[in-house]
Amino acid sequence: MRGPSRHRGATLDDVARRAEVSAMTVSNALNHPDRLSDETLARVRAAIEDLDYRPNRSARTLRSQTSRLVGVRVERSRQDRAALLLDQFLHALAESASGLGYHLIVCHAAGDTAELAAYQELRQTTAVDAFVLTGAHRDDARRRWMREQGVTFACFGRSWDLDPDSPGAFPWVDVDGAAGIRAAVEHLAGQGHTEIGLVGWPADSDLGRDRERGWREACADLGLPARVQAHVVDEFDAGRDAAHRLLDAPRGGPVPSALVCVSDTLALGVLRALSERGLRPGHDVAVTGFDNSPSAALTTPGLTSVDQPLADVAAALMRLVDAELSGVRPSATHALLPPRLVVRDSSLAR
Amino acid sequence: MRGPSRHRGATLDDVARRAEVSAMTVSNALNHPDRLSDETLARVRAAIEDLDYRPNRSARTLRSQTSRLVGVRVERSRQDRAALLLDQFLHALAESASGLGYHLIVCHAAGDTAELAAYQELRQTTAVDAFVLTGAHRDDARRRWMREQGVTFACFGRSWDLDPDSPGAFPWVDVDGAAGIRAAVEHLAGQGHTEIGLVGWPADSDLGRDRERGWREACADLGLPARVQAHVVDEFDAGRDAAHRLLDAPRGGPVPSALVCVSDTLALGVLRALSERGLRPGHDVAVTGFDNSPSAALTTPGLTSVDQPLADVAAALMRLVDAELSGVRPSATHALLPPRLVVRDSSLAR
DNA sequence: CTGTTAGCGCTTTCAG
DNA sequence: CTGAAAGCGCTAACAG
Q: What does the pLDDT look like over B140-182, one tens digit per residue?
A: 888 888 988 889 999 999 888 777 677 778 899 999 999 999 9
Protein CA A37 to sugar C1' D2 (Å)? 10
Which residues from A are below 8 Å from B62, CB to CB? 56, 58-59, 62
pLDDT band at B6 (very low <50, low <70, confident <90, very high): very low
Residue A25's nearest nucleotide, by CA–C1', is D2
Can you give the pLDDT at residue A327?
A: 83
Using the structure, give the distance in angstroms from the CA atom of A118 to the C1' atom of D13, rounded to a whole number. 35
Whether the per-residue pLDDT at B313 is higher than 90: the answer is yes
This prediction has a pTM of: 0.92
Q: Per-residue confidence at B328, pLDDT binned at 50, 70, 90?
A: confident
Could you tell me what percent of chain B has a pLDDT over 90? 70
d(CA B308, CA B88): 10
A–B interface: beta-carbon pairs under 8 A: 178
Query: Cα(B167)–Cα(B310) distance, rounded to whole angstroms?
Result: 28
Q: Residues of B with CB below 8 A from A263's CB?
A: none
Å: B120 CA to C15 C1':
39
Q: What is the pLDDT of residue A330?
A: 74
Task: State which residue of chain A sits closest to B109, comparing Cα positions.
Answer: A95
Residue of B nearest to A66 (CA): B58
Topology of domain A177-308+341-347, per CATH? Answer: Rossmann fold (3.40.50)
Whole-angstrom Cα distance, residue B41 to residue A146?
A: 34
Question: Which nucleotide has the least CA–C1' distance to A62?
Answer: D8
Q: Using an 8 Å Cβ cutoff, are A322 and A280 in contact?
A: no
Using a 7 Å cut-off to protein CB atoms, list the covered nucleotides of chain D.
1-5, 7-13
Contact B98 A91 (CB under 8 A): no
Give, in degrees to the nearest 5, the angle at Cα A124 between B10 and A114: 120
User: What is the nearest nucleotide to B35, using C1' and CA?
Assistant: C1
For residue B8, what pLDDT band results from cuts at 50, 70 and 90? low
- Supply the pLDDT for residue B230: 97
How confident is the prediction along chain A (350 residues), in pLDDT tens digits per residue? 233 333 468 899 999 999 999 888 999 899 888 888 888 889 999 999 999 999 999 999 999 989 999 999 988 776 666 656 777 899 999 999 999 999 999 999 888 888 999 999 999 999 999 999 988 777 788 888 898 888 999 999 988 877 767 777 889 999 999 999 999 999 999 999 999 999 999 999 999 999 999 999 999 999 999 999 999 999 999 999 999 999 998 777 899 999 999 999 999 999 999 999 999 999 999 999 999 999 999 999 999 999 999 999 999 999 999 999 988 877 788 999 999 999 999 999 87
Residue A88: CB less than 7 A from any atom in strand D: no
> Chain A residues with CB inside 8 Å of B58's CB?
57-59, 61-62, 67, 126-127
Q: Report whether pLDDT(B19) > 70.
A: yes
Whether B298 sits inside 8 A of A76 (CB atoms) is no
Q: Which residues of chain A have a CB within 8 Å of the CB of B77?
A: 87-88, 91, 294
Picking from B8, B54, B58, B235 by the largest number of A CB atoms within 10 A of its own CB, the best residue to mutate is B58
Contact A265, A299 (CB under 8 A): no
Q: Write down the pLDDT at residue B135.
A: 80
| H-run or E-run covering B323 | helix B310-325
In DSSP terms, which residues pair with B305 in a beta bridge? B289, B342
The pLDDT, as a whole number, for residue B319 is 95
Task: List the single residue in A74, A98, A121 with the smallest CB-CB distance to B94.
Answer: A74
Give the protein-side footprint of strand C (Cβ within 7 Å). A 6, 8, 11-13, 23-24, 27, 30-31, 53, 55-56, 59-60, 62-64; B 21-25, 28, 35-37, 39-41, 59, 62-63
Q: Rounded distance, CA A140 to CA A122, Å?
A: 19
Task: Tell me what the pLDDT averaged over chain B comes to.
Answer: 90
Q: Which pLDDT band holds residue B47 (cuts at 50, 70, 90)?
A: very high
Identical topology for domains B12-55 and B177-308+341-347: no
Collect all residues of chain A within an 8 Å Cβ-Cβ radius of residue B127: 8, 56-58
Q: How far apart are CA B88 and CA B296, in angstroms?
A: 15
What are the tens digits of pLDDT across the range B80-120?
666 567 778 999 999 999 999 999 999 998 888 899 999 99
Decide if B55 and A125 are in contact by the 8 Å CB cutoff.
yes
Architecture in CATH of B66-176+309-338: 3-Layer(aba) Sandwich (3.40)
Portion of chain B with pLDDT greater than 70, in percent: 95
- Give the residue on A whose Cα is nearest the Cα of B85: A87
Q: Which of A129, A131, A126, A105 is nearest to A116 (CA)?
A: A131
Distance of CA A267 to the CA centre of its chain: 21
Instruction: Report d(CA B317, CA B335) in Å as an integer.
Output: 9
Pick the residue from chain A with its C-alpha nearest to B268: A298
Assigned CATH class of A12-55: mainly alpha
Angle between helices A206-222 and A177-190 (to 10 degrees): 30
CB neighbours of residue A28 within 10 Å: 18
Task: Determine if strand D comes within 7 Å of the CB of B5.
Answer: no
Q: Which DSSP state fits A346?
A: G
Residues of B in contact with A125 (CB under 8 A): 54-57
**How far is it, in rounded angstroms, from Cα B282 to Cα A69?**
50
Nearest CA in chain A to B110: A95
Q: Do B127 and A265 touch (CB under 8 A)?
A: no
Q: Tell me, in Å, how far CA of B58 is from C1' of D9?
A: 8
pLDDT exceeds cutoff 60 at B5: no
In sign, the C-alpha dihedral spanning A200, A204, A209, A210 is negative
Q: Where are the domains of chain A?
A: 12-55, 66-176+309-338, 177-308+341-347
Task: Report the C-alpha gap between B348 and B346 in whole angstroms.
Answer: 6
